[in-house]
Structure 1
Amino acid sequence: MTAVVVDEPGDFRLADLAPRAPGRGEALVRVHACGLCGSDRELFRGTRPAEYVRYPVTPGHEWSGVVETAGEGVDPALVGRKVVGEGFRNCQTCDRCRDGDPTLCTAGYDETGFTQPGAMADTLTLPARLLHPLPDDADLEAAALLEPAACSAAAVLAAGATVGDRVAVVGDGALGLTALQLLAAASPAELLLIGGGPERAGLAAELGADSFRDKDSVGTGGDPAAPLAGRFDVVVETAGAPTSAHTAAALLRRGGRLVLTGIPPEGATGLDPTDLVVRRLDVRTVFGAPPRAWSHAVRAFGVGLLRTAPLVTHRRPLEEFAEAIELVGSGDPAVGKVLLIPSTPADTEGVP
């Protein structure tokens, strides 16, 4: 198989490797598409924290494909199924795993595409327990975005928005636009998306936003006279920008609920603990997605409540990995989700 291998920061190669046969409890998946995100760019540039990457590595944690081979102990009915898969390789035995939150596994961080071989390759071998089967007619390119959608689902489940709530999403990337759709399914009284610029306003409306505001025109700034400050019951922050958490908190009413999913750079504007206490803000955080969030996203995708195809703007072969990484970090508002398509993508013709 062909695989992208990042040997060290800034240094990658295309390798001709033998696919790893699945062992007991594992499955080999023929990859159809693999998405890129900011963490892949960090991995390539060497800015990802050392404990969250292990070189050399084949990146790729957002992917879709078709099961080609099942190892011993795996249901043979999985062969031929369209699937996506969780990335965290949790121990399953520590207290946090037994509590149902393997993203907090105390055995240490281990994830497909960062410390384990990922999906920027023709095939991927992984524990079958991590797979989520898709409907037979699923669009596999769109399904490659179910990993960020699962993270969004974790945020939405933590937010606990109910019918009639006033809800805002801060950030218009893949996380924000998938969170927007999952929140829209709760029938909020108001659903606002705050984005980086006006270019995403049309897409936001198409995906369920009642209104769109440019981050530079929001004008919360902690000013109680600002029109949006203190207005919302629930705010989900997905941008990870230096000031986005502060903006998100300012949008909340007293007693409102804030969910933070973006990881900001060093020196980001922090939340004021006095403000949190006095206004009794409920702050929750999300890192990755537990199985229940994956199931939520996959179900929403399967019944048409979650549309990810409109987020894809660029497709590149594995050979153009470096160019694709540069697209991800270009800052061009015309660039949405970038997909890498393997040399021999999963052939779904004849798949049930």
Structure 2
Amino acid sequence: MTTGQAVVLDGPGAVRLVPHTPRPPGPGEVLVRVHAAGVCGSDREVYQGNRPEGYVRYPVTPGHEWSGTVAEAGEGVPVALTGRKTVGAGFRNCQVCERCHAGETTLCGAGYEETGFTQPGAMAPTLTLPARLLHLLDDAADLTAAALLEPAACVAAAVLKAQVRAGDKVAVVGAGTLGLLAAQLLRAASPAELLVVGLDAERAQLAEEFGATDYRTPPEAAGLGGYDVVLEAAGSASAARAAARLLRRGGRLVLTGLPAPGAEGLDPGDLVLRQTEVRTVFGAPPAAWAHAVRAFTAGLLAPLPLVTHRLPLTDYEQAIALTGSGDPAIGKVLLHP
């Protein structure tokens, strides 16, 4: 039985809306009724065809940021999950390799598989996936806000690696969705200062609402320094270099962005002489998901103000255009099946 339509990308720019037939959950799986799917820069890469080789497989239904409700449980899955509000991790790790056993599921030795990139995603009325990937929410959870928990989990991974202590001077480079979610999570660690650096002065008020004690554009931040921890969430090599310049000697730099291949990187000599500690993040392991969901449930993470557009799934291409427009007034775009 078909229910509504799903987005299918046969290749870069080749979009179809097709009748959607839910796939019944197999052993260990659940069928989720999708409430919302977020659109981010990675979805734009899939649409344009410039996602790194090996990190997308066409044809594909995109959608790795999502929220929904469990509609059906497969064999071996507790029936009590049915009806629960949920979000879910995207990385389809093997669970048996050395890195998976260490909890580093985003480094799974079996290779890369992820919902919305190599496996069917949530830009469809339903999504079938392993139940082990679910992170359950309270019955009162706002599913629209919860659709941002995937990017929140990614920055939670960075926040956990940042190891901020109360009283630290902290900076975030990037004032998009990732940067502001990072600021909100970092605020909970009680830093003495929390600077957000963003390209657009118009983002200052929103950054302050998300916990920043100061907001600067890159030229305004050029003379600053002495920060104990700097988290980069802008996705460019220039942002990474700017983030490194903000650090004190011996400070900690956490990189979350994925610059274009071949981009000029950080100066190794400078890193060594300044004894800079560099950590990187790609995706979110279970501990980061748990951290984000716990903060969301406790009210420490409130991402709803970042949502500026809610569109029907049929407006997928408009959503992609909005996401890549560069307009500072456009925040997170959500698609609803």
Bin the TM-score by the shorter chain: over 0.9
- Please report the TM-score for the alignment, with normalisation by the length of structure 2: 0.98
Match of 1:252 in 2: 247
By how many angstroms is 1:101 displaced? 0.6
Q: Helix, strand or coil: the match of 1:155?
A: helix
- Tell me the secondary structure at the aligned position of residue 30 of structure 2: strand
4+ residue runs over 6 A deviation? none
Q: Unaligned stretches of 5+ in structure 1?
A: 220-225, 343-352
- Which of 279, 285, 288 is 1:284 aligned to? 279
The equivalent of 2:333 in structure 1 is 338
2:179 counterpart residue number: 176
User: Residue 45 of structure 2 is aligned with which of 42, 46, 49?
Assistant: 42
Residue matched to 2:270: 275
Give the Cα–Cα distance (whole angstroms) in 2 for the partners of residues 16 and 65 of structure 1.
Answer: 20
1:311-330 residue CA offsets vs partner (Å, 9 max, x unmatched): 00011111110111011111
Separation in 2, partners of 1:182, 1:158: 12
Residue 127 of structure 1: aligned partner: 130
**Matched letter for residue 233 of structure 2:** T
- In structure 2, how many angstroms separate the alpha carbons of the residues matched to 1:328 and 1:216? 25
8 Å CA contact retained: 1:245, 1:269: no
| Letter paired with 1:33 | A
Show the 5 A alignment for 1:155-170.
155-170=158-173
Once the two structures are superposed, residues 153-199 of structure 1 have per-residue CA deviations (whole angstroms, 9 ceiling, x without a partner) of: 00000000000000000001111111101110000010000011111
Could you tell me which residue of structure 1 aligns to residue 58 of structure 2? 55
SS, match of residue 302 in structure 2: coil
3-state SS in 2 of match to 1:151: helix
What value does the CA root-mean-square deviation take over the aligned residues? 0.8
TM-score w.r.t. the length of structure 1 is 0.94
Report the residue type matching 1:188 in the other structure. P
CA distance in 2, matches of 1:329, 1:113: 18
SS of residue matched to 1:51: coil
Count of aligned pairs between the two proteins: 334
How far the C-alpha of 1:216 sits from its partner, in A, is 3.1
Contact 1:246 1:269 (8 Å CA) reproduced: no
> 1:200-257 CA deviation, whole Å, 9 max, x = no partner?
10011111100000123222xxxxxx2x13x100000010123000000000001100
C-alpha distance in structure 1 between counterparts of 2:313 and 2:23, whole Å: 19
Q: Partner amino acid for 1:293? A: A
* Whole-Å separation in 2 of the counterparts to 1:98 and 1:268: 33
- Return the match for 1:232 from 216, 227, 231: 227
1 CA distance for matches of 2:121 and 2:261?
Answer: 27
Q: Which moved more, 1:160-169 or 1:240-249?
A: 240-249
Task: Give yes or no for the alignment of 1:201 onto 2:196.
Answer: no
Task: Provide the identity percentage.
Answer: 67
Are 2:300 and 1:305 aligned?
A: yes
- For 1:322 and 1:275, how far apart are their aligned partners in 2? 43
Instruction: Give the corresponding residue for 1:350.
Output: none
The corresponding residue for 1:187 is: 190
The 8 Å contact of residues 242 and 267 in structure 1, kept in 2 or not, is answered as no
State yes or no: 1:90 paired with 2:93.
yes
- Deviation readout 1:22-60 (Å, 9 max, x if unpaired): 000000000000000001000011111220001000000
Structure 1 distance, partners of 2:237, 2:328, is 18
Query: 1:2-32 CA distances to partner (integer Å, 9 max, x unpaired)?
Result: 1100011101111102100000000000000
Q: Determine the C-alpha separation between the residues in 2 that align with 1:191 and 1:95.
A: 37
Shift, 1:63, TM fit: 0.2
Structure 2, gaps ≥5 residues long: none
Q: Determine if the alignment matches structure 1 residue 217 to structure 2 residue 220.
A: yes
| Deviation (angstroms), 1:267 | 4.4
8 Å CA contact retained: 2:20, 2:124:
no
Aligned to 1:67: 70
SS of residue paired to 1:250: helix
Residue of structure 1 in register with 2:109 after alignment: 106
For the 8 Å contact 2:20–2:125, the answer to whether it is kept is no
2: distance between equivalents of 1:24 and 1:50?
A: 31
- The counterpart of 1:27, out of the listed 19, 23, 30, is 30
Query: Given the alignment, which residue of 8, 13, 18 partners 2:16?
Result: 13
> How far apart in 2 are the matches of 1:196 and 1:30?
37
User: 1:45 & 1:55 partners in 2: Cα distance?
Assistant: 12
Find out whether 1:153 has 2:156 as its counterpart. Answer: yes
For the residue of structure 2 that corresponds to 1:32, the secondary structure is strand
Separation in structure 2 between the aligned mates of residue 115 and residue 216 of structure 1, nearest angstrom: 40
Q: For residue 173 of structure 1, what is the amino acid of its counterpart? A: G
Residue number in structure 1 paired with 2:321: 326
